[in-house]
Structure 1
Amino acid sequence: MAAAPATLIDVHAHFLTDAYVQAASAAGHGSPDGMPRWPAWSPQAHLELMDSCSIATSMLSVSSPGTHFGDDAAARALTREVNEYGAELVRAYPGRFGHFASLPLPDVAGSLAEAAYALDDLGSHGVVLMTNAHGRYPGDEAFAPLWEELDRRAAVVFVHPTSPRGHERVSLGRPRPMLEFLFDTTRAVSDLVLTGTLPRYPGIRWVFTHGAGTLPLVVDRMELFRTLFGGPPAGPPVPEQVAGLWFDMAGTPFPRQVPAAVEAFGSGRLVYGSDYCWTPAPAAAAQVASIDAAPQPSGTTWRALTTANAKRLLPPLA
């Protein structure tokens, strides 16, 4: 009899609350990021998917468009509400769910307070932020106090893509997760590198999504421009810096995305991600099937490799 498949740890999974969907819709996100509608989500449906795909633990976070819709006070209140709900899910289903806490960026003071509350009081496993906060990217100097604190804590920072400013002119009416999310991930990483932010805060464990997006294709070009024009910021070459990030497999990992990422950056920081509930359950199950059917890495499996990596990224799960 064949052995049961090794269980997965899903670092890229999402939850929703009615209050959050109402607040986001009221702020103009009725069709979030150009998607036709908000998905349905419940703990029970999520657990059913996990059981069917041999997923042991899912790290829950709030996806794009985040929790800040223009007003700092409202963003702080909404962020606190979803974080307390996420932490309650972890308590209610021990071992099955983990939690990355939302932050109300670009409100730096509010984000510092919420990070301390989530990590110290709620027991969150890390924080989640968007690739840009109302058009401000993570190399923005105003965010330095937050990075200093998260660096001090050696925190896990899960960076989820969101729509860029001006998306109306470039997305051509198509859902932004198809292309713009991958490009905005690349833009956020380039900003961290070209502002010298990555080497300045080496304690932060940054996690980016979707098999590194377009980064395998552009890191050498980024290094060319970094060294040729304007004086490069201090730090290692761009490919070396980017190889120090973590990436998940959400989206379409095979036959092309994951092999390209592994060729560029190695497999030591590759983790599994489903992107459920924004990826519907049948598509998430098909993605897991594609991982199991793909050519496996030498001496191991994608399941075993990504699970071992996730336990290094998140030691409490070990």
Structure 2
Amino acid sequence: MSKPHRIDTHHHLIPPRYRDYLETRGIQPGGIPLPKWTPAGSLKVMNRLGIRAAVLSVSTPGAWLDEPKLVRGLARELNDYTASVVAENPSRFGFFATLTLPDVDGAIAEAEHAFNNLGADGIVLIANTDGTYLHDPAFRPLLEYLNNRNAVVFVHPGELPAPPVDPIPSFAADFLLDTTRAAAGLVLSGAIEEFSRIRWILAHAGGFLPYVSYRVMLAMLRQEGRLAQAKAMLQRRTEVPKRMELFSRFWFDTALSSSPAAFPALLAVADPSRVLYGSDYPFAPARAIGFLNDVYEEQPLDRQLRRQIDHLNAEALFPRLAA
């Protein structure tokens, strides 16, 4: 069994005024009603589930509510509130700051404030904003800034730029595709290589990315006009590891993804030193997290890898939260 020293890198908060903003507009992240959340509630669940520390983040839609005049003030309010929660329990909480995309200038200014004045541990970016994904040239100045800061960036899915399909809640499938699109875009655009100092964390084990990684690799060859030579290239001993290395540059959290179906696919692609424990609380209720923790404990992992996933890998990213 794992020791109760987990560091949860996928742990949400819902500030009271933010709840009001979302409920007034009828927004249900992931297609489900907003769950209850308080700092005390998080700590209670963390103690129960063996989570020593959690890195807090605001889930989709972040600060962008289709109201450009609101976005900068809302992002500042969310980050100041989150920083106050961390200040109350600095050994138990860290946080990813919320930015203002698609307002790039505002995003850079808010990241500067969050890092320099609030002590943010990283940044959370929604995979797409109004259909624009993170690799888009419009967001390039922000990626340059985050690269220069050696930032940890948590990529969280949002609503797909497409209508939902009844009765499927978006958290069940669309969220996973959104993360996959964002990650594939970073790979195929070359951004993962150009901005190599950004530490990208992909939510929910990268969505479908591990499963479709070879398809994305073929898309790389097609981009290069080398698809006709793909079979010969991929038979070479060095070509497949070279291409797959791009996917292993990501960090992946295990939130809602520790099943015997998903976990082997993740470990086939990920660098073992870049797999992080995640819960998705409170959007995943405590009982569901407990069930998935039990499933995770049943995975045939050696002791060292389990310790890495539980806390050692996160401690390398967030030394402040090390025991």
CA distance in 1, matches of 2:252, 2:220: 23
Per the TM alignment, residue 121 of structure 1 is displaced from its structure 2 partner at its CA by 0.2
CA contact (8 A) 1:83 1:102 kept: yes
Amino acid corresponding to residue 162 of structure 2 in structure 1: G
| Conserved 8 A contact 1:246-1:271 | yes
Residue 273 in structure 1 maps to residue 271 in structure 2: no
Structure 1 residues 104 and 314, CA, compared in 2 at 3 Å: closer, same or farther?
same
Q: Contact 1:151–1:201 (CA<8 Å) still a contact in 2?
A: yes
1:307 maps to 2:311: yes
How many Å apart are 1:26 and its aligned residue? 3.0
The alpha-carbon deviation at position 207 of structure 1 amounts to 0.3
1:34 aligns with 2:31: yes
In structure 1, the residue matched to 2:45 is 49
Give me the CA root mean square deviation: 1.8
> What is residue 232 of structure 2 aligned with on the other side?
none
**Residue in structure 1 matched with residue 18 of structure 2 by the alignment:** 20
Matches of residues 164-203 of structure 1 in structure 2 within 5 Å?
Answer: 164-168=160-164, 171-203=165-197
1:301 to partner: Cα distance: 5.1
Amino acid at match of 2:11: A
Alignment-mate amino acid for residue 145 of structure 2: E
Cα distance in 2 for residues equivalent to 1:60 and 1:50? 12
Give the distance between the partners of 2:263 and 2:64, measured in 1 at CA: 32
Indicate the SS of the match to 1:11.
strand
* Matched position secondary structure for 1:182: helix
8 Å Cα contact 2:56-2:93 kept in structure 1: yes
Q: Which residue matches 2:200?
A: 206
Q: Deviations over 1:41-97 (max 9, x none)?
A: 011111111111111100000001211112223011111111111101111012011
Q: Is the 8 A contact 2:8 2:277 kept in 1?
A: yes
> How many percent identity over aligned positions?
38
- Per the alignment, residue 261 of structure 1 pairs with 266
| 2:234 matched residue in structure 1 | none
User: Pick from 100, 104, 107: which aligns with 2:100?
Assistant: 104
The letter of the residue matching 1:202 is S
Structure 2 CA distance for aligned equivalents of residues 173 and 131 of structure 1 = 23
- Unaligned stretches of 5+ residues in structure 2: 227-240
Deviation at 1:173, TM superposition (A): 3.6
Code of the residue aligned with 2:9 in structure 1: it is V
| Superposed CA offset, 1:204-259 (max 9, x none) | 00000112221112111111122124558xxx954211110000000031212122
Q: Which moved more, 1:104-113 or 1:223-232?
A: 223-232
Are residues 75 and 49 of structure 1, via their aligned partners in 2, closer, same or farther at CA, if it must alter by over 3 Å?
Answer: same
Moved more, 301-310 or 103-112: 301-310
Once the two structures are superposed, the pairs formed by residues 90-239 of structure 1 within 5 Å of their partners are 90-168=86-164, 171-229=165-223, 231=225, 238-239=243-244
TM-score for the superposition, normalised by structure 2:
0.90
Offset, 1:12: 0.3
- Letter aligned with residue 17 of structure 1: P
What is the SS of the residue equivalent to 1:167?
coil
Partner amino acid, structure 1, of 2:88: A
Structure 2 match to 1:8: 6
Tell me if structure 2 keeps the 8 A contact 1:220–1:238.
Answer: no
After TM superposition, give the deviation of residue 181 of structure 1 in Å. Answer: 0.7
Structure-2 residue corresponding to 1:290 = 295
Q: By how many angstroms is 1:137 displaced?
A: 0.3
Distance 1:167 1:242, change over 3 A: farther
> Are 2:2 and 2:306, in contact at CA under 8 Å, matched by a contact in 1?
no
1:10 partner letter: D
Aligned equivalents of 2:29 and 2:54: distance in 1? 23
The letter of the residue matching 1:216 is P
Query: What SS is found at the alignment partner of 1:203?
Result: coil
Q: Is the 8 A contact 2:29 2:61 kept in 1?
A: yes
Matches of 1:19 and 1:237, distance apart in 2 = 47
User: Which amino acid in 1 is paired with 2:197?
Assistant: G
Give 1:295's aligned amino acid: P
2:183–2:206 Cα contact (<8 Å) kept? no
Alpha carbons of structure 1 residues 106 and 4: separation in structure 2 relative to 1, 3 Å: closer
Give, in whole Å, the separation in 1 of the partners of 2:40 and 2:133: 36
Note the C-alpha offset of 1:293: 3.0
TM-score normalised by the chain length of structure 1 = 0.92
In the alignment of these two chains, the number of paired residues is: 308
Amino acid at match of 2:311: T
